[in-house]
Amino acid sequence: MTALRRIQKELADITKQPIKGLSVDPNEDNLFEWNCSIRAEPDSPYKDGTFRFKVVIPSSFPFKPPTVTFLTKVYHPGINDEGHICVPILRDEWKPAITMSTVLSVVQEKLNNPSPDDPFEPDIAAQLKNDKSKFLATAREWTKQYAHS
């Protein structure tokens, strides 16, 4: 099975070269499911927060992208209430050459650096654009409430 071999190689690569601030814990019974977490960077609106998310890799990987779902509630223009994250490489920009390390790095970057462009949550994006201090206060409040370590 091609997908499983690729996943095993990718896990080995991530173990050899871990991504700072990110942990990956593959499900022992099913390597197609990973439990991950991101420790937000100190200059992020989410600093001091640890955000858990699940990665589900399809059996058609690497021809179809993995699904990333945040389990920790986050006040973010690019992550909706169901925990889905809006990043182009997980949709129309997916290519089989994209590695799981790249996917995880992009998810980490998106969490730490919210942008009002290409939002999943237009109201939060508008607030980030028009009332950044209120956005930051709400992001900090949610981080304290849901993403404490």
Q: Which of 51-62 are b and which e, b meaning 16 or more Cβ less than 10 Å from the residue's Cβ?
A: bbbbbebeeebb
SS3 call for 18: coil
| R_g (Cα) of the chain, nearest Å | 16
CB-CB neighbours of 133 under 10 Å: 8
Identified catalytic residue from 86, 107, 124, 147: 86
Q: Is 36 a catalytic residue?
A: no
Distance CA 72, CA 80 (A): 11
Phi, psi dihedrals of residue 20, rounded to the nearest 5°: -60, 130
Q: Which residues are catalytic?
A: 86
